[in-house]
Amino acid sequence: MKVAIIGAGIAGLSAAFDLSKAGHDVTIFEAASYTGGLAAGFKDENWDWHLEHFYHHWFDTDDDILNLIAEIGQRDKVFFPRPVTSLYIDDEIYPFDSPIRILAFPKLSPIAKVRFGLVAVYLRLTKNWQALEKETAHNWALRMMGEEAYKVVWEPLLIGKFGDYYKEVNMAWLWARLHKRSFKLGYFKGGFQAFVKALTERVISQQVKVCLNARIQNIERMDNGQFCVETAPADGNTVPSPEPPATFDRVLATVSPHLLSKLVPTLPTHYLAEIKNLQSMGAVVLILALKHQITDEHYWINLPKSDDVPFLAFVEHTNFINREYYGGDHIVYCGDYLKPDHAYFTLTKEELLARFLPALKKFNPNFDEGWVKNSWLFRTKYAQPVPPVNHSRNIPALETPIPGLYWASMSQVYPWDRGTNYAVEIGRRVARQMMDEAPS
């Protein structure tokens, strides 16, 4: 088959890996000037390693991506530190990432801790997510864990992650968050961009054509069953895209629901309505390179949404990965999940700095804006799907109603949460399906 893949993120690269390995002719079109999608990174001039645009790590249960890394001969580059993840409550930071630390947590009564622990064990062991998706996380956790544990631990997380949607999210989402979580967190030597580079080089060695700065503006199925993939005019292609019109036997789009509807307006009306009903949150991340450490040990601090702390997560990356790889800089992420129409998507970096920096004094009273050596702002309006009750009924099949056109996105990895592990899984799954359905 001659296959076009739209998007050079982890899903698109993973699909290209398997399709090209099986002998198919694959071309990837990527609108950005780099591969990796939401897992891509950047490197300041005094750093040895890349840093992700959006904070990333792996669990030791993330078998799909770890197996792929092994297949491309890079497993020795993965390592698993044991950082501290914490909760911020009443102006104090509390480690909350092990049974011992949960037992020592002073904000829950002994009875609440027992209920919390028993329910957490159940969620770790059960595989019956189908039953859990029939009820909201709000109602289920409130009933099973009790009001005390729910109000202290889970409600702030749900509100921070989903905003106005927090009472609509089903319990299978929360189950997935706990079911595969590990205390040790994985990282790739050189940053996730080093993994992306290795995977990109591997697919190119398998004769995959990777066209960067190649923004697709239309995908149309022709009368002969092939697809015409039309690229928008672009200057400075680092890798030239095929001269239009480019035709393919199969097309795989690894894009957001909104972008899919724009690229393929000929999709049936009922299907367009279905994908437009898939809700999602965007992400805004402000990254700081600091002269000094903010906290002594905390890698990840979950924050309650408030006026005093205008973001959801405080991630001190260099309490996870040694700052020697970043020229001695202390690296901090201030991140938030927001509706795509939120003001944070239009404010300038300087305006967000003015809002975010005062909150750092909450974590270190000595913090001063003079600590900031450099800053970067990254945003995406498609970062976190919102799964309502019985969401499995809403998940579109990988093959769209247009025969030969496939769609694989983070909106379809449900019941799992979005992430690079599930991008690999869905990319390889759709590649298998495309090959199984190929004409003999």
Q: Specify whether 116 is located in the same domain as 44.
A: no
Q: Specify whether 173 is located in the same domain as 200.
A: no
Residue 239 has pLDDT above 60, yes or no: no
Let me know if residue 68 belongs to a domain.
Answer: no
What digits encode the pLDDT tens for the residues 94-130?
A: 999 999 999 999 999 999 999 999 999 999 999 999 9
Strands 405-407 and 250-253: parallel
Q: For the chain, how many structural domains are there in total?
A: 2
Let me know if residue 207 belongs to a domain.
Answer: yes
In angstroms, the CA 66 to CA 68 distance is 5
Query: Residue 438's pLDDT is what?
Result: 74
Let me know if residue 218 belongs to a domain.
Answer: yes
* Domain final position from 153, 179, 205: 179
Query: Residue 306's pLDDT is what?
Result: 78
Let me know if residue 205 belongs to a domain.
Answer: yes
Least confident of 166-180, 182-196, 234-248, 319-333: 234-248
Strands 209-211 and 25-29: parallel
- CA-CA distances (angstroms) from residue 29 to 26, 212, 297, 350? 10, 6, 42, 33
Cis peptide upstream of residue 403 (ω within 30 degrees of 0): no
Q: Specify whether 163 is located in the same domain as 223.
A: no
Let me know if residue 65 belongs to a domain.
Answer: no
Burial class (CB in 10 A: 0-12, 13-18, 19+), 389: middle
Specify the DSSP element, H or E, that contains 428: helix 420-436
Residue 76 has pLDDT above 70, yes or no: yes
What digits encode the pLDDT tens for the residues 163-184?
A: 999 999 999 999 998 898 899 9
pTM above 0.85, yes or no: yes
3-class secondary structure, 217: strand
Mean pLDDT of the chain: 94
Q: Specify whether 165 is located in the same domain as 198.
A: no
* Domain final position from 179, 199, 233: 179
What digits encode the pLDDT tens for the residues 376-425?
A: 999 999 999 999 999 999 999 999 999 999 999 999 999 998 899 999 99
Let me know if residue 38 belongs to a domain.
Answer: yes
Q: Specify whether 201 is located in the same domain as 268.
A: yes
* C-alpha 343, offset from chain centre: 21
- In the chain, the percentage of residues whose pLDDT exceeds 70 is 97
Q: Specify whether 20 is located in the same domain as 164.
A: no
Let me know if residue 317 belongs to a domain.
Answer: no
Average pLDDT over residues 38-50: 97
Q: Specify whether 105 is located in the same domain as 127.
A: yes
Indicate which CATH number applies to the domain containing 38: 3.50.50.60
Query: Residue 236's pLDDT is what?
Result: 47
Residues constituting the chain: 440
Q: Specify whether 41 is located in the same domain as 116.
A: no
Query: Binning pLDDT at 50, 70 and 90, where does residue 189 land?
Result: very high
Q: Specify whether 203 is located in the same domain as 272.
A: yes
Which residue range forms the structural domain that includes residue 213?
2-50+191-278+390-436
Average pLDDT over residues 242-246: 62
Q: Specify whether 174 is located in the same domain as 196.
A: no
Let me know if residue 318 belongs to a domain.
Answer: no
Residue 241 has pLDDT above 70, yes or no: no
Q: Specify whether 219 is located in the same domain as 166.
A: no
Q: Specify whether 243 is located in the same domain as 199.
A: yes
In 169-316, alpha helices (H): 171-179, 192-205, 257-263, 269-276
In angstroms, the CA 430 to CA 17 distance is 12
* Domain final position from 179, 206, 221: 179
DSSP assignment of 276-319, as one string?
Answer: HT--EEEEEEEEEEESS-SSSSEEEEE----SSS-SSEEEEGGG
Least confident of 109-113, 288-292, 435-439: 435-439
